[in-house]
Amino acid sequence: MINPVASILGIPQENIFANQLLFGSSGEFLGFDANEPTSRSGGKATAVQHIQKVHGYKALVMIGDGATDLEARKPGGADIYVCYAGVQLREGVAAKADWLVFNFRDLINSLE
């Protein structure tokens, strides 16, 4: 689902870090590609570190809704974590976030 959108936006494949879901011939969910760093604990922090190193970013913001997204905040990872609670509010994640938003319009308006 991500690759077609990334292609439209001109985002190169090497800049995409996402779980690859696997489905059978009848459409049944089989699991995910365990080779993706984001499929395991700490993997999102690894992806963030890679992005910072490759692109030389001085600061990086992670937006997510779950505990594995929050892990990207580990030392050397994301500088700021924004908890997006527009679908599901996870109290434990929200409590540790730098910023809590319930819809992206609020986030966009605040950044403008």
**57 and 23 share a domain?**
no
* Bridge partners (DSSP) listed for residue 35: none
Return d(Cα 72, Cα 109) in angstroms, integer: 24
Return d(Cα 76, Cα 22) in angstroms, integer: 31
pLDDT at 109 over 90: no
Mean confidence (pLDDT) of the chain: 88
Classify residue 54 as left (phi > 0), alpha (psi -120 to 50) or beta: alpha
Residue 3: predicted pLDDT:
82
**36 and 76 share a domain?**
no
**55 and 29 share a domain?**
no
**54 and 36 share a domain?**
no
- Residue of 17 and 30 predicted with greater confidence: 30
**11 and 51 share a domain?**
no
**51 and 33 share a domain?**
no
Mean pLDDT of 39-53: 87
Helix (H, G, I), strand (E, B), or coil: what is residue 81?
Answer: strand
Return d(Cα 67, Cα 81) in angstroms, integer: 11
**57 and 96 share a domain?**
yes
This prediction has a pTM of: 0.75
Helix (H, G, I), strand (E, B), or coil: what is residue 111?
Answer: helix
Q: Domain total for the chain?
A: 2
**7 and 62 share a domain?**
no
**11 and 28 share a domain?**
yes
**35 and 61 share a domain?**
no
**3 and 20 share a domain?**
yes
Of 67-71, 72-76, 99-103, the poorest mean pLDDT is in 72-76
Identify the DSSP state of 79.
S
**50 and 17 share a domain?**
no
Domain range for 60:
42-112
pLDDT at 100 over 90: yes
Run of H or E residues at 96: helix 91-96
